[in-house]
C-alpha cells in the first residue's frame, strides 16, 4: 500500500517536473525569437543595446558599388545578408588563376558564374605566384574574402577550403586537373566539365583566363559576371583605405588624369616592342622573352608590330598624343604602372610636357607603402582604385587592366576613358616628326580620330567565329550598364 502511494507521488512529481521543463523551454524559445526579430529590425526601431551586440561576422563590406572613394566601408553585420541558396551539390571546383591582377579578376568572375550554372561548390581561387611578377599574395591579401563569400551566398556556395573528407581525397591525388577550352559558352561546361565533376567529385581548372565566351550567353549569366565584378570582388580594407587616401591627396590639388603607361620591361619583352630602345636594351628584352617558355620565342619585328598598332605607346609618343588632344599641361597625371623601362631618361619628354607627374611613391610616405611593396598585385589594386576614380583615364595599351578599368568606368556612368587608336597615332606621329605634318594639322587629326573614343556608350563588337578579335565583355558589359540616353560624355 505504501509502495503504491509512493509510486503515485513519484509519477506526479515527474509529471510536474516535465511540465515545468517544457514551460521553461517554450519561454526560452519565445524570448530568443523576440530577440532575433529585434536584432533584425534594430536598424529601424530596435533598442540601442541590441544594435551594439557583437555579430558573428567580423569582416567588412562596401555598400553598393565603389562609386566614391570618400564613402566609408560598412561592416557586414550592418548589411542584410542575401538568403542562402540551397541546391544539390554536384561536386567541388578548384581553380588556379593565371596572369596579372585584372586577368585574374575577370577569370574569378567567370569561375563563379560557371560554378553557379553547374550547381557546384567553388573553393576560394588560388592566385598566380609563378608569373613574371612572382607575387606571393593570396586571395585574402588582395580581396575581402568574407564579402566575396557572403555577397554571393544566394547564387553559389563558396568555401575557403575543401571539407575535411574532400581534402583527404585531394591529398591522395583524387582530383581531375585540366585547362578548359578558351572562349567556350556555358553548354561546354554543362556537357564536358559537369560529367567530370560528377565522376571525380573534385575538378581543378589550372588555367582560367578567357575561358568563358564574351557573347551569346543568357542575360542572367552576363548579369552575374557583373555582380561578381562590381559587388563581390572588393579589395581588402587596408588596400581600399590607402586607395581613398591617394585619391583624397590628388583631389586637394584639383582634377587628375590617370595614365596607364605600359612601357614596362615585362610588357616590352612579351610584346617584342622596342621602339626608342638602344642596342643593349633590345638584347636584354629579347633574352627576357626567351627566358619564359610561355612567351613568344619567335623573332618579332618591332617596327611591323608598331605600325599595326600592337605596341604600347612610348613615353615620347604619349607626350605628343596628350598635347595633341589638348590635355592641360598643368593637370596632375598619376602614373599607374610599374617601373618605366629606361627610367628618367625615357620619361623626360613626358615630364617636360606635363610637369605634374605623380606616383604612389611621390604622394605617400615610404612607411605607408611598406606593406604593399614587392607585391605587384596589391600595388596594381591601388592603381585600379585610383584609375576608376580619376577624371580622365588614358591607357597606352589595351591590356587587361585597361579593359577592366574601362568597363568599370562605364558602369559608374560612362566616365571619360580615352581609348587611343595606336595604329593611326603612330602614323600621324611619324608624319609630324618627319615634318610632313604641321602641329595644327597633327593635333586636329588626333582630336578628330578620338572624338568618339571617350568611353561613351556603344555596342560591343561581336565576331562569332573570331572571339579573340571581338570586343571584350569586361571592357563593355553593356547588359549591366545604365541606359545610354541617361549619360553623355563630353570631349
The full 3-state SS of the chain, as one line of letters, equals CHHHHHHHHHHHHHHHHHHHHHHHHHHHHHHHHHHHHHHHCCCCCCCHHHHCCCCCCCCEECCCCCCCCCCCCEEHHHCCCCCCCCCCCCCEEEEECCCCHHHHHHHHHHHHHHHHHHCCEEECCECCCCCCCCCCCCHHHHECHHHHHHCCCCCCCEECCCCHHHHHHHHCCCCEEECCCCCECHHHHHHHHHHHHHHHCEEEECCCCCCECCCCCCHHHHHHHHHHHHHHCCECHHHHHHHHHHHHHHHCCCCEEEEECCCEHHHHHHHCCCCCCCHHHHHHHHHHHHHCCCCCCCCCCHHHHHHCCCCCCCHHHHHHHHHHCCCCCCCEEEECCCCECCHHHHHHHHHHHCCCEECHHHHCCHHHHCCCCCCHHHHHHHHHHHHHHCCEEEECCCCHHHHHHHHHHHHCCCCCECCCCHHHHHHHHHHHHHCCCCHHHHHHHHHHHCCCCCCCCCCCCCCCCCCCCCCCHHHCCHHHCCCHHHCCCCC
Q: 438-444: long-range contacts (C-beta < 8 A, 24 or more apart)?
A: 442/324, 443/323, 443/324, 443/325, 443/326
pLDDT, position 130:
78
pLDDT, position 292:
77
Q: What is the pLDDT of residues 438-454, one digit of tens each?
A: 999 999 999 999 999 99
In the sheet that holds 332-335, the strands lie side by side as 357-358, 332-335, 256-260, 392-395
Q: Residue 246: which of 358, 350, 412 has the closest Cα?
A: 358
Q: pLDDT of the chain along its 491 residues, tens only?
A: 444 443 454 445 445 555 554 555 555 545 544 443 443 333 333 332 222 223 232 333 333 333 334 444 444 445 789 999 999 999 999 999 999 999 999 999 999 999 999 999 999 999 988 776 678 999 999 999 999 999 999 999 999 999 999 999 999 999 999 999 999 999 999 999 999 999 999 999 999 999 999 999 999 999 999 999 999 999 999 999 999 999 999 999 999 999 999 999 999 998 999 999 999 999 999 998 888 776 666 678 999 999 999 999 999 999 999 999 999 999 999 999 989 999 999 999 999 999 999 999 999 998 888 888 778 899 999 999 999 999 999 999 999 999 999 999 999 999 999 999 999 999 999 999 999 999 999 999 999 999 999 999 999 999 988 999 999 999 999 999 988 664 444 43
pLDDT, position 293:
73
Report the mean per-residue pLDDT for the chain: 85
Residue ranges per structural domain of the chain: 92-232, 237-480
pLDDT, position 39:
38
pLDDT, position 297:
61
Q: What is the pLDDT of residues 353-409, one digit of tens each?
A: 999 999 999 999 988 888 887 788 999 999 999 999 999 999 999 999 999 999 999
pLDDT, position 300:
87
pLDDT, position 164:
94
Separation of alpha carbons 393 and 391, rounded Å = 7
Amino acid at each position: 500500500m505504501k509502495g503504491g502511494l509512493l509510486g503515485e507521488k513519484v509519477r506526479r512529481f515527474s509529471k510536474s517536473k516535465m511540465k515545468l521543463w517544457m514551460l521553461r523551454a517554450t519561454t526560452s524559445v519565445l524570448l530568443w525569437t523576440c530577440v532575433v526579430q529585434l536584432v533584425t529590425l534594430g536598424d529601424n526601431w530596435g533598442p540601442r543595446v541590441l544594435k551594439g551586440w557583437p555579430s558573428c561576422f567580423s569582416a567588412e563590406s562596401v555598400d553598393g558599388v565603389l562609386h566614391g572613394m570618400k564613402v566609408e566601408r560598412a561592416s557586414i553585420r550592418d548589411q542584410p545578408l542575401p538568403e542562402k541558396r540551397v541546391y544539390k551539390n554536384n561536386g567541388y571546383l578548384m581553380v588556379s588563376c593565371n596572369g596579372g591582377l585584372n586577368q585574374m579578376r575577370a577569370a574569378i568572375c567567370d569561375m563563379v558564374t560557371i560554378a553557379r550554372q553547374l550547381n557546384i561548390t567553388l573553393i576560394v581561387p588560388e592566385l598566380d605566384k609563378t608569373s613574371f611578377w612572382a607575387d606571393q599574395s593570396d586571395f585574402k591579401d588582395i580581396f575581402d574574402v568574407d564579402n566575396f563569400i557572403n555577397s554571393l551566398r544566394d547564387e553559389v556556395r563558396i568555401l575557403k577550403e575543401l571539407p575535411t573528407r574532400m581534402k583527404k581525397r585531394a591529398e591522395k591525388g583524387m582530383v581531375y586537373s585540366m585547362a578548359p577550352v578558351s572562349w567556350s559558352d556555358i553548354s561546354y561546361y554543362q556537357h564536358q566539365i559537369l560529367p567530370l565533376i560528377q565522376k571525380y567529385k573534385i575538378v581543378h581548372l589550372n588555367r582560367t583566363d578567357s575561358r568563358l565566351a564574351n557573347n551569346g550567353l543568357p542575360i542572367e549569366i552576363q548579369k552575374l559576371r557583373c555582380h561578381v565584378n562590381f559587388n563581390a570582388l572588393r579589395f581588402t580594407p587596408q588596400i581600399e583605405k590607402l586607395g581613398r587616401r591617394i585619391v583624397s591627396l590628388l583631389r586637394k590639388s584639383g582634377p587628375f588624369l590617370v595614365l596607364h603607361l605600359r612601357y614596362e620591361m615585362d610588357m616590352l619583352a612579351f610584346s617584342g616592342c622596342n621602339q626608342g630602345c638602344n642596342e643593349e636594351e633590345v638584347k636584354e628584352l629579347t633574352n627576357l622573352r626567351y627566358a619564359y617558355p610561355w612567351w613568344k620565342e619567335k623573332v618579332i619585328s618591332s617596327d611591323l608590330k608598331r605600325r599595326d598598332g600592337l605596341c604600347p605607346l612610348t613615353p615620347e609618343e604619349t607626350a605628343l598624343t596628350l598635347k595633341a588632344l589638348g590635355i592641360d599641361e598643368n593637370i596632375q597625371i598619376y602614373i599607374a604602372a610599374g617601373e618605366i623601362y629606361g627610367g628618367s631618361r625615357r620619361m623626360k619628354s613626358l615630364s617636360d610636357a606635363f610637369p605634374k607627374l605623380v606616383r604612389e611613391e611621390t604622394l605617400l610616405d615610404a612607411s605607408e607603402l611598406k606593406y604593399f611593396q614587392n607585391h605587384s598585385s596589391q600595388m596594381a589594386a591601388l592603381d585600379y582604385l585610383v584609375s576608376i576614380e580619376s577624371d580622365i583615364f588614358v591607357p597606352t595599351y589595351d591590356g587587361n587592366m585597361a579593359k577592366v578599368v574601362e568597363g568599370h568606368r562605364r558602369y559608374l556612368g560612362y566616365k571619360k576613358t580615352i581609348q587611343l587608336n595606336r595604329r593611326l597615332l603612330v602614323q600621324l606621329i611619324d608624319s609630324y616628326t618627319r615634318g610632313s605634318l604641321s602641329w595644327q594639322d597633327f593635333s586636329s587629326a588626333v582630336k578628330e580620330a578620338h572624338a568618339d573614343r571617350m568611353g561613351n556608350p556603344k555596342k560591343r563588337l561581336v565576331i562569332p567565329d573570331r572571339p579573340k578579335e571581338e570586343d571584350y565583355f569586361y571592357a563593355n558589359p553593356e547588359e549591366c550598364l545604365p541606359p545610354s540616353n541617361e549619360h553623355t560624355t563630353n570631349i
